[in-house]
Amino acid sequence: MKMHEASELALSEGFGEAVWWGVRAIGGYAALGLLLLVVGFYILDFVTPGHLAKIIRLERNPNAGIIAAAGTFGIGLIVAASILGSGGSLIEGLIATAAFGATGIVAQTVAVLVFDKVIGVDVRGVIAEPKLAPAAVLLGAAHVAIGFITAAAVF
């Protein structure tokens, strides 16, 4: 076995600072991303008839589950694109992520409301159905598609 020189085993200059910066960045972006996701979910819940989390938890309604899951996924896409699209220092990146994420969530919400009106689906009626409704699948797919479109616009 060949002996390594001490210089081969030493950490490069600046390694510790780079790791510390990375740990702070991961923590900051993860915390902000989670906050945006939760806020986005509550906005989705507010604009959707009924209290989605309650309907899912207590009534075990599959239509509310599909709409909530797809909406949350769409919001997650927007938040991820906001993080990817941010730049600069850590503070600048977090501020840009917050601004892009919030704007994207508002755009997603407006687009979903417009889509629902244009196609003429009674969202309240869909959520009230106890069995899986085809309209819930359509609305769920629309939430994801609009999330992709909005995420591309954000990025």
For 50-83, b/e burial (b = at least 16 CB within 10 A) is bebeebbeeeebbbbbbbbebbbebbbbbbbbbb
Nearest to 81 by CA among 99, 66, 69: 99
pLDDT at 11: 85
- In sequence order, the 6+-apart residues with CB closer than 8 A to the CB of 30 are none
pLDDT per residue rounded down to tens, the chain (155 residues): 555 565 677 888 889 888 998 999 999 999 999 999 999 999 999 999 888 999 999 999 999 999 999 999 999 999 999 999 998 889 999 999 999 999 999 999 999 999 999 999 999 999 999 999 999 999 999 999 999 999 999 98
Predicted structure pTM score: 0.86
